[in-house]
Structures are given as C-alpha cells and as structure tokens.
Amino acid sequence: MNIGTAAQKSGLPAKTIRYYEEIGLVHPHRAENGYRAYSDADLHRLRFLQRSRGLGFSIDECRLLLSLYENDSRASADVKELALAKIGEIDRKIAELRSLRKTLSALAANCHGDDRPDCPIIDDLAGT
Amino acid sequence: MNIGTAAQKSGLPAKTIRYYEEIGLVHPHRAENGYRAYSDADLHRLRFLQRSRGLGFSIDECRLLLSLYENDSRASADVKELALAKIGEIDRKIAELRSLRKTLSALAANCHGDDRPDCPIIDDLAGT
DNA sequence: GTTAGTGCTTCCAGTCACTGGAAGGTCAAG
DNA sequence: CTTGACCTTCCAGTGACTGGAAGCACTAAC
C-alpha cells in the first residue's frame, strides 16, 4: 500500500511516516514508480509506533520497544521496567505541574483582576 | 555588570541571557571593550524572565508579561487572564498525564514481569 | 489525447528554547 | 609575561516533527 493509505490506517501523518523511515524505524520497499510500498508488517510497526508514542514513549524508547516487540525471546520484565520507569517520569511531571498550578492559582486568587494596574502576579514575577 | 554576574544574580545561564538578547527580550548596552553591560533594570528583566519561564509561560507569553510589567497603566485583569489561561493549560496537561499513567499502570499490572516473553504491554502496543 | 486534480517524491527550512563548542579577544593576578 | 578565567561571535545540534516548493506519477473526465 502507498504512504497515504498507510497513514490513514496507522493514524500517523504521511510526513511523520517518512520521518520515521529517515531515522530508521521503518523500512518499506519501493514500487517500480519509486513510491513507498508498505506491507502489513510495516503497517503493524507504524501502528505500534503510533500507540507507543501516544503513551509518551520517546522515539528511542519506541525503538527499544519495537526491538522487544520483534524479539520472541524477550523477557517481559524488560518491557515492564520501561513501563514502570515511564510511570515514574509521568509522576514527576504531574508533581511539577501541580506545584506550578498551586503557585499560579495562589497568585491569581490574590489579583483583583480589574482595570487597575496593581497586580500581585506581576509583583511576584518582578520579585518585589 | 558583566554577563557572568548577571547570570549568577538572575539564575539564568549566560548562554540563555545572550539568547534572550538575540530574540529581543533584553537590550544591555556595551562597554568599551565590547562586553555586555547589564544595568539593575536589565537584571530585573532577567529575574522576571527567570521566574515567569519557571512558571511555565512561553517566551511569547513572557514578552507579553514583560510589556505589562513595564506598562504602568496595565489592567490587572489582563495579567490575571493570562495566569488563568495558563492554569487551564496546566490542568489539561495534568489530566492527559493522569490518563496516560492509568493506561500504563494497568498494562504494567497485567505483565508478570519475568523472563518469559509473553507480555500484555507489548500485546497492547501491537494492537493484538 | 489532453487536461485537471490528486498523490507521490526529494530537499530545505522552520518550530521551541535553548545548549555545546570552536576560535579568538580581554582582563586581573602572580 | 604568562596563566587562566571571562568575554565575544558564529555555527551546529537537540526532539519530533511540520510546512512548503519543485517536480514526477497516476487516474478520471472530456
């Protein structure tokens, strides 16, 4: 199938699929007219990438996951470790965002928010 | 003061300060030897940037905040609006991360995590 | 047979907010 | 006078795409 069809079926933009080829994540062969020709296995890889990227794995992590996916003698522990590490990362990000939110909403709560110029948010940013 | 001192006092790397100048956020004048010379006002701007960036505002938002900071006739409502919009953004990001976390931890919980190859995480990514 | 329109190709540049490094000028201490 | 820290500019790279231009390839309609 052509790249447009592969894009539709994988949920990835064609541009992204070409980019994934450029960085060695997929290797479709070419039709006689020079068009990329995607096999079902290629499509599986693309779908796999779409999902794992959607779960927040970096390209390099996806590369690793793909190699585990295609390695029949993988240990599930390896995959689980990656998933748990990612969960830890997510937890750290959530904590950071929550702390940011707390600061910002405290500032916003103190700001009367009318047409007068005095504003505790600005004051705080200015460090005064 | 020189860039090194400004860096120390603002908490920003010198590289970043030069970058901020390049994109027009600060305009230090130059000493006779060509070194950047930062006034106290410049330092205030840098500190302001350090804080607002730390609160998750984009460079363009910081630019806007700076202009409000230096506009004595600003309306505090403008600043508050920006802060509240940012809080909304943070909330959306937290929700997204929480949903990711839920998916990932459900997957990880189902994975026995030993040296056998069968792994529900991989199965899910593969869409099987 | 020609034309229009869509889809494919490559390549280059831009995004965001820096960060690293090379090559070279300047300054203060010893 | 040398050493080493600090400063300068410029160029390139990061991650993961995304946009756009220029130019083939294919299909359907007229």
CATH classification of the domain holding B14: 1.10.1660.10
For chain B positions 65-124, those within 8 Å of chain A (CB to CB) are: 65, 68-69, 71-77, 79-81, 83-84, 86-87, 90-91, 93-94, 97-98, 100-101, 103-105, 107-108, 111-119, 121-122, 124
Domain that holds residue A116: 75-128
> B63 in contact with A at a CB cutoff of 8 Å?
no
Q: Which residues of A touch B79 (CB under 8 A)?
A: 111, 119, 121-122
Please indicate, yes or no, whether residues A11 and A43 belong to a single structural domain of this protein: yes
Please indicate, yes or no, whether residues A17 and A53 belong to a single structural domain of this protein: yes
Q: Give the DSSP H or E segment for B36.
A: strand B36-37
Percent of chain B at pLDDT > 90 equals 52
pLDDT digits (tens, 9 = 90+) for A54-63: 988 999 999 9
Is A52 a residue whose pLDDT tops 80?
yes
User: Kindly report the CA angle at B84 between B83 and B90, in degrees rounded to 5?
Assistant: 90
Between chains, do B87 and A81 touch, taking CB under 8 Å as contact? no
pLDDT digits (tens, 9 = 90+) for A80-127: 998 899 999 999 999 988 988 898 898 899 888 888 888 989 989 887
Please indicate, yes or no, whether residues A49 and A89 belong to a single structural domain of this protein: no
Nearest to A65 by CA among A31, A73, A124, A74: A74
The Cα–Cα gap between B43 and A62 comes to: 43
> HEC string of A14-58?
HHHHHHHHHCCCCCCEECCCCCEECCHHHHHHHHHHHHHHHCCCC
pLDDT band, very low/low/confident/very high, at B127 (cuts 50, 70, 90): confident
Is A73 a residue whose pLDDT tops 90?
no
Which contacts qualify for B88-96: CB closer than 8 Å, 24 or more apart? B89/B56, B90/A97, B90/A100, B90/A101, B90/A104, B90/B56, B91/A101, B93/A97, B94/A94, B94/A97, B94/A98, B94/A101
Closest nucleotide to the alpha carbon of A33, via C1':
D25
The residues with which B30 forms a beta bridge, in sequence order, are B36
Determine, yes or no, domain membership for B108: yes
Please indicate, yes or no, whether residues B4 and B54 belong to a single structural domain of this protein: yes
Please indicate, yes or no, whether residues B89 and B46 belong to a single structural domain of this protein: no
Of chain B residues 23-52, which have a beta carbon within 7 Å of strand D? Answer: 34-36
Does residue B39 sit in helix, strand or coil?
A: coil
Ordered alpha helix ranges (H), chain B: 3-10, 14-22, 40-54, 59-69, 76-110, 120-126
Length of chain B: 128
